[in-house]
Amino acid sequence: MEGVKKLFFGGNWKAAVRPSQTTGFFAKFAAGLRGHVYDLEMAGARVVVAPPSACLSVARQALVNEGLEGVVGLAVQDPWIAEGAYTGATTFEMAQDPLVGAQYALIGHSETREPHRIYGSISVLDETRLTEISGLNGKNPRPFRIATDAVVNRMTRKALEVGMTPIVCVGETLEEREAGKTRQIIQYQMSGALAGFTPEQIGKMIIAYEPVWAIGTGKTASPEQAQEAHEQIARILMEHSHTAENVVPIIYGGSMKPDNVAELVHQRDIHGGLIGGASLKPEVFLELILNGVRAFS
């Protein structure tokens, strides 16, 4: 199984990098990566960076200048599903514009799902209320929104419609884990994300398991904890796509670092990572990727 596993490493820059820093990042990253392009290819490993939307076209240009356009992909963070009067939104169409050329879309990250940060007491399981707040029950979806499961589903559909690869994030909060609800939350978020898709469409997705309590906290899920969740996700994917083997990459996110990547990707159902903090420094991100790839060579 490990021999045929294709690895995927995504750097999620969130809102931590500026356009002028983007060029410098790729110059250093390219210098380190150039000697390892063959290793990545041999391992079938994909590398993608998700800069803030203001940095996307700068990132594209930097990749072209460094000759890495075909080696490193770009993802747009949390794009909106419609063009028009949505102040503040970045759309799928903008991200896909030839001057930008993002091929991936990061959807349903917990920082866009967490309603309690904004609305206090509303439960993530209160889909009706959340859908109401997100404006998805009306004709005009509002850009000021929470990525409810219904929104995540719509965004995923839009990504597939325009030919982008959706990277759909799921994961429980600490409160939910401690209340023994991890399996329930994963089941709920996965069924919401996958509702209405054909096996062929599901085959074009990437799923990121990101336990919220491990994001940016330095607390990584143990390989066993992560594997348990990934195995459940793999089972749900197989059920929805009526297959006996899962072909959808399931990546882990939450304080993944150069020194814990190998033990994580050694787990059967962990196919790489979605990396926040450790993707901001080119040398650290590269070390993480190479440690992940070496774990398989």
Minimum separation from the CB atom of position 279 to ligand PGA (A): 7
Minimum separation from the CB atom of position 217 to ligand PGA (A): 7
As given in the structure block, the two tokens for residue 3 are 């021999």
Smaller CB separation from ligand PGA, 194 or 215: 215
Smaller CB separation from ligand PGA, 160 or 208: 208
Q: Which of 66, 210, 228, 240 is catalytic?
A: 210
Q: Residues binding ligand PGA: what is the number (CB under 6 A)?
A: 13
Residue 170 found at the interface with ligand PGA (CB under 6 A): no
Smaller CB separation from ligand PGA, 35 or 218: 218
Rounded to whole angstroms, the Cα distance separating 133 from 127 reads 10
Smaller CB separation from ligand PGA, 136 or 286: 286
As given in the structure block, the two tokens for residue 294 are 């070496």
Residue 242 annotated among the catalytic residues of the structure: no
Residue 176 found at the interface with ligand PGA (CB under 6 A): no
The CA-atom distances, in angstroms, between 170 and each of 28, 108, 167, 188, 254 are 32, 7, 10, 9, 12
Give the other-Cβ count within 10 Å of 150's Cβ: 18
Residue 71 near residue 286 (C-beta atoms within 8 A): no
Residue 66 annotated among the catalytic residues of the structure: no
The CA-atom distances, in angstroms, between 146 and each of 47, 109, 128, 171, 185 are 28, 10, 12, 15, 17
183, 216, 247, 259: residue in contact with ligand PGA (rule CB under 6 A): 216
Q: In sequence order, which residues have a C-beta less than 8 Å from that of residue 259 and are 6 or more positions away? A: 291
**Binding to ligand PGA in span 250-279, by CB under 6 A:** 253-256, 274-278
End-to-end CA, the chain: 13
210, 241, 267, 292: residue in contact with ligand PGA (rule CB under 6 A): 210
What are the catalytic residues?
109, 210
Q: Which residues bind ligand PGA (CB under 6 A)?
A: 12, 210, 215-216, 253-256, 274-278
